[in-house]
Amino acid sequence: MPVPDVMFCAQQIHVPPELPNIMKQFTKAAIRTQPRDILQWSYGYFSALSKGEPLPVKERVEMLVATQKNDTGLTPGLLKVLHKQLSKKETVSLEELQIKWKNLCLPMEQLRSLLQLIDFVDGVEWMKFFALGCSALCGSIVSSMKQACEILSDDPEGGAARIPYDTFAFLYSYLAGMDKEIPEGEAESFLSALKEQVAHKNYMVGVADFSVNRMD
């Protein structure tokens, strides 16, 4: 016997009261983030939302510069998202990093290239990976440190982009140690002078506090 057609009316369909706002926020997040794979990103978004974790969402839409192509992989905005998601742990598991990376629709080839530069047998030291991410974005140590300050700073956009001296020193020392063109001892000398320079600023380092000539 065929099943009779069932007529539904508005009163029969229960719509959770929080659903419209959830979908509204999801739509705004997708527009800001512009994921290349909306299904993969959506999985990461709702997975993080259900667990109360930081969402894989950019603060604003990133405009490509003239030298960029459509498929550029990691961007400052995406690196900042990763930092919000993973920085609470000093060391993150390779699996967790891979999941977050994949949910941001970033190319796995780029992740593998970065991991070749770091020891991750017992997990990935997040701040070292973050430093490598800045280097991958910018190339030179000067530009990498400026990028790090802009991503990590709590200052308003366009401001001094200050970060604690200890954080700056750790990132700079790590990148300088990997740069064969920087003579041994030069990084320590530079950081010592910088520490004196920012002592009156409660040891906060901003982009304007370090000289490009001294870091080159």
- Residues 105-129 have pLDDT tens digits of 999 999 999 999 988 888 999 999 9
pLDDT digits (tens, 9 = 90+) for 120-168: 888 999 999 999 999 999 888 999 999 999 999 999 888 889 999 999 9
- The pLDDT mean for the chain works out to 88
- Residue 12's pLDDT is 74
Task: Report domain extents, the chain.
Answer: 139-216
Residue 5, pLDDT > 80, answer no
Residue 211, pLDDT > 60, answer no
- Residue 67's pLDDT is 44
Residue 65, pLDDT > 70, answer no
Residues 6+ apart with CB under 8 A from 149: 161, 162, 163, 168, 205, 206, 207
Report pTM: 0.87
Sign of the alpha-carbon torsion through 171, 134, 47, 21: positive
d(CA 201, CA 13): 60
Residue 99, pLDDT > 70, answer yes
Banded pLDDT at 96 (limits 50, 70, 90) = very high
Residue 53, pLDDT > 70, answer yes
Percentage of the chain beyond pLDDT 70 is 88
- Residue 194's pLDDT is 92
Give the number of other CB atoms < 10 A from CB of residue 168: 25
Residue 11, pLDDT > 90, answer no
d(CA 89, CA 50): 20
